[in-house]
Amino acid sequence: MSWLTDPNPALAVLIAAMLAPLLTVLAGAWRPASVRAVAVGTTALAFGTAIWATAIEPSTFSIMWIETWNVQFELAFDGLAAMYALLATGIGLFVVLYAAGYMPLHREHKGRPLIDDARFFGFLLLFMASMVGLVMAQDLLLLFVFWDLTAVASFFLIGFDRDEEDARDSALMALLVTGISAIGVLIGALLLWQEYRTFSLPLIFEQTETSVTVTWATALILVAALAKSAQFPFHFWLPRAMVAPTPVSSYLHSAAMVAAGVFLIGRIYPLIELEPWLGDALVVIGAASMVVGGVVALTRDVFKQVLAYSTISQYGYVVVMFGLGGTYGVGGAMFYVIAHALAKCALFMTAGALTEATGKQTLSESGGAVRAMPLLAFGSLLAAVGIMALPLTIGFFKDELFFAAATEHGRAMQFFAVFGAALSFAYIGRLWIGIFLGSVKQEHRPIGALMTWPVVALGILTVLGGVWVQPFREIAERAASVSYAQAIDLDIAYHFDARPENVMVLGVYGLGVVLLLTERWWRNSMRALVSIGEVIGPAHLYLLTLRALVRLSDSVHDFEVRDLRSRIASILGPAGVLVGLAVIFTPTEGTFVVGPLQRSDIPLLTVIIATAVSGVMVTFPRDHLRMVLTLSCVGYSLAVVYAFLGSPDVALVAVLIETIFALVLIAILVLMPRSILRYESRLRPARWRLGRDVTVATIAGLMAFFVAWSALSRPSASTTVISRQIELTPLAHGYDIVTVILADFRGFDTMGEITVVAIAFLGIISLIRAGRLR
């Protein structure tokens, strides 16, 4: 039992995380009221395991998973995994605590049963568990599994309030964007497999060299990562995802879904480094997201919308930093994720608490909440100043690192960085001021302590990080050194000098305050700008695509064939065309031979012609009885053909079958109501239909003719089994080869065919006598 005394940390973390949703759901099945407590307990356990695993040496776990492709179930609890696992479980713990206070209120609002708790916490913790699995996965296939699992969990969480159309649409949108883009990970993984014959990331990193395939693979994986972290132009799903219950939003934005995207960038960073233009692309996309997110966030009225767009812009920073690269770029990106997670989570919780307390969701309807909820105001103030990068908060350092990375890339980058940071200063300031200051516009119901204290705790953590940065710095450094593949030392401290970073920070404060004070001047023009963006933006494109698809689907459906004749035509026609193509595209030399016609063949030929003529005649009569009789003519003439060919057995069977067949058909006609028969015999098909039917019938006839002709033109193969069967017939106690074939050589076929007869009999009996045999 070595695994008990000396547990593998990586595996232990995964198991602890996986236990959380499992136990929660089981608790839900056992006693729904216990779900919240179980959820909190199991999450705390997972968090504790993650802390323990972080404290000891990095560890790996590996076991053969899919032998055919040589895929290992390979986990590693390295620095990068440690950072994100701590975020997922730690922030997760705050979120679950908050949700324990939030869900009863939410359920009450929506009139939902207690059992919904199990559904909610089950998916929330599945989300956490798949995040934990994702960050530890060392194999691209395994990573893909966890990657999509987060999309699955988020789909159910965003659509949690499924009776609201908005929730349903948003869930679908999030699933479509993140799910379809996730195929990029799969294709990328397969491309890498094509190159290196392995899905294992460590093995791939060992032998990487730049090649077109690798670049493509990396680009495809990046698409998935950017879509998930809601970067322009895939960002539109994130603001819509705000319809989810608040705990989901705060988790999604701080430590789960969106974080997963930037995590993946960190995970495959060694591949990105190979090709400089990938980094440049990241800078451009990140910068675009910063601007779009920032500008839109400044104009939004709904708090959660402000926060959602702020997330887009903040992760834009992270992506830009990854793109810039270098110690400050990569290290800064990691640090930024941590700082942002703490603060953003708290701000979302604030928004949710406020909405639960007042029922209001917009800035224009809110204000002055500081008096009713001072504690909440305090906690969220700490978080807000964290994002605004005021000194003595962890956020100050995140901006310092960003500016340090930008400084390495010249003046233009510096200006852009200041501008971007000023935007975030402004929109977060606007949000907090709008909510808590000003005149009181609404009543406040009391909310539970569970909805306030997590905010305060996170706020304090934000400040703590500004005072005692060491632990956060170390986590970020260890994570960054995994991505950067060399040790990274982040020089984080307060420097009281005029270095560029400090100057830039001052610039941000100045610009940010100006933006805040001048809101009334830029408000309208900014809104106009944003509404233009809405018209030409990707969200609109998404809607247009959906609508176009529905329209296309409808119009294609009009072409679907709906009557039996057309259905038959749609098979015979293409079949004829296919055979025709085969005739054209294969060498026909010697295939279509016209054999010699001897005098002795003339009687046979006459009967064959008679068969053919009666075959054509079947199509003429409209009267059912005449049709049946003509059909029998075909059968009887065929029987004569068999007789001429010297197979009396077959001829006998043919005659008998034809007789009983005609009887059965006539019996059916007797059973049919006269009126229907009369109606049908009077039907006249439309002219075009008749023409089509004749054409298709001709094509089909030609097809059969060509197949038969090509087969018959061959002299029968030299080693036909029939000669051997004739030889063996006496051995089988028979003189009549046909009977011996039917009862012995191929008696198994006969047995099958009589089974068919028996089943047909069952069917007829079922229809006519309701299945009663007697």
Partner 1 sequence: MMELPLGILWFGAVIVAMLDGTRRRNAVLSIVILASALVSTLVLGADVYRNGTQEMVVGGWEQGVGISLRIDTLGIIFAVLSQAVLLAALVFETANGIKARIFPALVLFMGLGLTGVFFTGDAFNFYVFFEIAMISAYVLASYGETPRQFRSAFIFIVVNLLGSMLFLISIAALYHTTGRLDMVGIKAQVPLVAESPIVLISATIFVAFGVKLGLFPFHFWLPAVYTGTRASVVAILSGALANIGSYGLIRFGADVLPRELEFGAPVLLILGAVSIVYGGVQSISRHSANEVLAYSSIGQVGYIMVALAIGGEAGVFAAILYTVINGLNKALLFLAVSMRGWLVGTAFAIGAFSVAGVPPAAGFLGKLVLFQAAIEDGSWAIVVLVLLGGGLSFLYMFQLYRRRFWIAGEEEEESAHLPQVIVVGMAVGLLLIGLWPQPLLELADQAVLGIMGTDTAP
Partner 2 sequence: MTTELYKVSARILLLPTLLVALGVMVKGYADPGDGFSAGVIAALAFALQLMVFGPGELDRLPLIRYVPYAVFLGLIISLLTAFVPSVMGQTLFTHWPPAGDSAPRFGTLEFITAVAFDVGVFLIVFGFGVGVLSSFARAEGRMRTSEERVARARAAEGEAGNTT
Instruction: Give the residues lining the site for partner 2 (CB under 8 A).
Output: 648-649, 652-653, 656-657, 659-660, 663-664, 667-668, 670-671, 728, 731-736, 738-740, 742-744, 747-748, 750-751, 754-755, 757-758, 760-761, 764-765, 768-769, 773-774
Which among partner 2, partner 1, none contacts residue 149 (Cβ within 5 to 8 A by kind)?
partner 1
Interaction of residue 203 with partner 1, rule CB under 8 A: no
Q: Considering only residues 521-580, where is the footprint of partner 1 by CB under 8 A?
A: 546, 549-550, 552-554, 556-557, 560-562, 564, 566-568, 570-572, 574-575, 578-579
Please, what is the minimum distance in Å from the beta carbon of residue 644 to partner 2? 15
CB contact at 8 A, 309 and 346: no
Given 22, 26, 187, 655, the residue binding partner 1 (CB under 8 A): 187
- The strand pair at 71-77 and 59-66 is best described as antiparallel
- Angle 254-85-328 from CA coordinates, rounded to 5°: 70
Which among partner 1, partner 2, none contacts residue 754 (Cβ within 5 to 8 A by kind)?
partner 2
Please, what is the minimum distance in Å from the beta carbon of residue 726 to partner 2? 14
Residue closer to partner 1 (CB basis): 122 or 429: 122
Window contacting partner 1 (CB under 8 A); options: 65-73, 358-366, 630-638, 691-699: 65-73
Q: Determine which helix (DSSP H) or strand (DSSP E) holds 254, and give its type and residue range.
A: helix 246-254
- For 629-657, give one letter per residue: b (16+ CB within 10 A) or e: bbbbbbbbbbbbbbbbeeeeebbeebbee
Which among partner 1, partner 2, none contacts residue 29 (Cβ within 5 to 8 A by kind)?
none
Q: Considering only residues 673-732, where is the footprint of partner 1 by CB under 8 A?
A: 703-704, 706-708, 710-714, 716-722, 724-725, 728
Question: Within a 10 A sphere around the Cβ of 219, how many other Cβ atoms?
Answer: 18
Residue closer to partner 2 (CB basis): 683 or 773: 773
Which among partner 2, partner 1, none contacts residue 660 (Cβ within 5 to 8 A by kind)?
partner 2
Residues 6+ apart with CB under 8 A from 503: none
Which among partner 1, partner 2, none contacts residue 145 (Cβ within 5 to 8 A by kind)?
partner 1
Please, what is the minimum distance in Å from the beta carbon of residue 125 to partner 2? 56
Residue closer to partner 2 (CB basis): 691 or 747: 747
Window contacting partner 1 (CB under 8 A); options: 441-449, 605-613, 637-645, 764-772: 764-772
Which among partner 1, partner 2, none contacts residue 602 (Cβ within 5 to 8 A by kind)?
none
Alpha carbon distances (Å) from 575 to 460, 582, 604, 689, 701 = 75, 11, 30, 19, 11
d(CA 603, CA 513): 108
Interaction of residue 219 with partner 1, rule CB under 8 A: no
Residue closer to partner 1 (CB basis): 52 or 216: 216
Handedness of CA 455, 461, 467, 469 (dihedral sign): negative
Residue closer to partner 1 (CB basis): 171 or 492: 171
Interaction of residue 749 with partner 1, rule CB under 8 A: yes
User: How many residues interact with partner 1 (rule CB under 8 A)?
Assistant: 105
- What values do phi and psi take at 760, rounded to 5? -60, -40
Alpha carbon distances (Å) from 382 to 86, 307, 354, 389 = 21, 16, 17, 11
Using CB under 8 A as the criterion, what x/- string covers residues 117-136 for binding partner 1? --x-----------------
Interaction of residue 22 with partner 1, rule CB under 8 A: no
Please, what is the minimum distance in Å from the beta carbon of residue 641 to partner 2? 16
Which among partner 1, partner 2, none contacts residue 19 (Cβ within 5 to 8 A by kind)?
none
- Start-end of H helices in 518-594: 519-536, 538-558, 564-585
d(CA 137, CA 144): 9
Given 22, 457, 583, 610, the residue binding partner 1 (CB under 8 A): 583
Please, what is the minimum distance in Å from the beta carbon of residue 715 to partner 1? 10
Given 19, 114, 183, 291, the residue binding partner 1 (CB under 8 A): 183
Which among partner 2, partner 1, none contacts residue 191 (Cβ within 5 to 8 A by kind)?
partner 1
Alpha carbon distances (Å) from 419 to 199, 290, 294, 412, 493 = 41, 10, 10, 11, 23
Which among partner 2, partner 1, none contacts residue 291 (Cβ within 5 to 8 A by kind)?
none
Find, among 298, 363, 310, the residue nearest to 340 by Cα: 310
Q: Which two tokens stand for residue 404?
A: 């340090």
Window contacting partner 1 (CB under 8 A); options: 10-18, 161-169, 421-429, 437-445: 161-169
Interaction of residue 645 with partner 1, rule CB under 8 A: no
Alpha carbon distances (Å) from 107 to 39, 104, 165, 249 = 17, 5, 18, 17
d(CA 543, CA 531): 16
d(CA 334, CA 477): 8
Which among partner 2, partner 1, none contacts residue 557 (Cβ within 5 to 8 A by kind)?
partner 1
SS3 372: helix
Question: Within a 10 A sphere around the Cβ of 194, how many other Cβ atoms?
Answer: 11
d(CA 693, CA 687): 10
